[in-house]
Amino acid sequence: MDKIERTLGQLFSGRDFEKEYNTLKEKVLQYEPIRAFLNEHKDDVTEQLINQNLSSLYEFMTQDEQFRAKKETLMPGYAPKLVINGEFITVTYYPTPEKIEADKRKSVERRIRSLYMPKQILEASLDHFYTDEEERQRALVEAFDFLEHYSKDSSERVKGLYIHGNFGTGKSYLLGALARELALRGVTTTLVYLPEFMREIKQSISDNTVSEKIEFAKETEVLMLDDIGAEAMTAWTRDEVLGAILQFRMQEELPTFFSSNYNMKQLESHLTFTQNGMEEQLKARRIMERIRFLSKEVQLEGKNRRK
C-alpha cells in the first residue's frame, strides 16, 4: 500500500490542478463558436452553469475542431451542436447535408433490388434519357404516364410497359430510370436480367431453391424482366417458371415491365419453339396473354448508344 501511495505522489507532485483547470477553461471560453453560443444565451448562462458543464463545452470544442478540419469525429457524418437543457449544457449531433444525401441514396438503393443488372442501369435517371427522336419521346411519355397513375395504395390497375427495340437503344436504361424514380416515391422494384435468372433457376434444381427464387420474383411490388426472349427457353422454364410468375402477378394485378429485342408478335413466335425444337403454339399464346394483360407495348428505336 505504501508503495502505491509513493507512486501516486510522484505522479501528481508538482502539478497545479487549479492552474490547469483555469487554462483549459480559458481556452474553451475563447473558442469562437462557444463564445457565440454563450452570447446568444447570455440571459440563461451563469458562471456556475459554465463550471458545471465545462466538460460538455470541451467536448464540443474538440469535436467541432475535428469536424471543421474534416477529420473523423465521435459520430462521423454528424456535426456537433450545443444546447441548453435546463441546468445542463449538452452536446447534440445532427446529420450533415452530406449525411442526409448519403442516407437518401442508400434508402433508394435498398428499394431497387437487382439480379444480374449492370451498375450503370441501377444508377439511371429519367433526366438523362435521350429524347432526340419522336419514338423515344413517346416512350418517355408512357413512363411518366405510369408514374402519374400508379400508387401502391390505389385499387386502380395500371399496366406496366413492354419496351421493345433494337440493341443499344436504351430499353434497360429506361427500366432502371423508372425503378429509381419509383424508389424515390417509396416503391420497391426488382430488376431481373431474365437470361441469367433462367440459368440460375436451372442450376437451383440441385439445391431445392427453385421455389424460393420463383416466389421472390412473383411477390415483389414492381417486377421488371429485362431482355425477355434472349434466354434459351425450355418448355419447363417457359411454363413452370415464367408462366407461374406471370400468372401470379396477373391475378394479383402487380405492375410488371419487360424489355425485349422482339415485339410482342415476334416474342410469341420465339416462345412457341422450345430448345428441343418442339412447337407449342397454345402454351406460347397463354404466356403472351399474361404479358399483354400486364403491360402496354411501347417501341423504342434510335441509334445504338452502346457503340
Query: Within a domain: residue 6?
Result: yes
Task: Say if strands 160-164 and 222-226 run parallel, antiparallel, or are unpaired.
Answer: unpaired
Whether residues 152 and 266 fall in one domain: yes
Residue 283: pLDDT band by 50, 70, 90 thresholds? very high
Q: Mark which of 71, 95, 119 sits at the end of a domain.
A: 95
β partners of residue 106? none
**How many domains in the chain?**
2
Same domain? For 7 and 65 the reply is: yes
Residue 14: inside a domain? yes
Q: How many CA atoms, within 13 angstroms, populate the side-chain half-sphere of residue 191? A: 30
Q: How many helices (H) and strands (E) does the chain have?
A: 15, 8
All three cell numbers of 266, joined, read 415476334
One domain, residues 155 and 289: yes
Residues 123 and 50 both lie in one domain: no
**What is residue 14's predicted lDDT score, i.e. its pLDDT?**
58
pLDDT, tens only, 176-218: 999 999 998 889 999 999 999 999 888 888 888 888 889 989 9
Domain identity same for 48 and 82: yes
Residue owning grid cell 397454345? 282
Residues 129 and 40 in one domain: no
Task: List the beta strands (DSSP E) in 194-299.
Answer: 222-226, 256-260, 295-299
Whether residue 146 is found in the same domain as residue 263? yes
pLDDT at residue 9 tops 60: no
In a domain, 39, yes or no: yes
Asked if residue 21 and residue 155 are part of one domain, the reply reads no
Q: Is this model's pTM higher than 0.75 or not?
A: no
- Residue 72 has, within 13 A of its CA and on its CB side, a CA count of 1
* Per-residue pLDDT tens over the stretch 45-91: 999 999 999 999 999 999 999 999 998 888 999 999 999 988 899 99
Q: ∠ CA 292-295-296 to the nearest 5 degrees?
A: 90
pLDDT given for residue 10 in this prediction: 57
Are 22 and 149 part of one and the same domain? no
Choose one of 40, 69, 95: the last residue of a domain. 95
Neighbours of 267 (CB within 10 A): 21
Residue 208 lies in a domain: yes
Is 230 in the same domain as 134? yes
Shared-domain flag, residues 271 and 295? yes
> Does a structural domain hold residue 148?
yes
pLDDT tens string 135-169: 889 999 999 999 999 987 777 889 999 999 998 89
| Domain-ending residue, one of 69, 95, 121 | 95
Verify that 62 and 111 share a domain, yes or no: no
Highest mean pLDDT among 4-8, 69-73, 272-276: 69-73
Phi (first) and psi of residue 99, to 5 degrees: -65, -45
Q: What is the pLDDT of residues 13-51, one digit of tens each?
A: 556 777 888 888 899 999 999 999 999 999 989 999 999
Instruction: Give the residue numbers spanning the domain of 11.
Output: 2-95
Q: Is residue 304 part of a domain?
A: no
Indicate whether 159 belongs to any domain: yes
Residue 175 corresponds to which cell in the numbers above? 427500366
Q: What is the CATH number of the domain that holds 182?
A: 3.40.50.300
Q: Which residues pair with 258 in a beta bridge?
A: 162, 225
pLDDT confidence bin for 248, thresholds 50/70/90: very high
The verdict on residue 306 lying in a domain is no
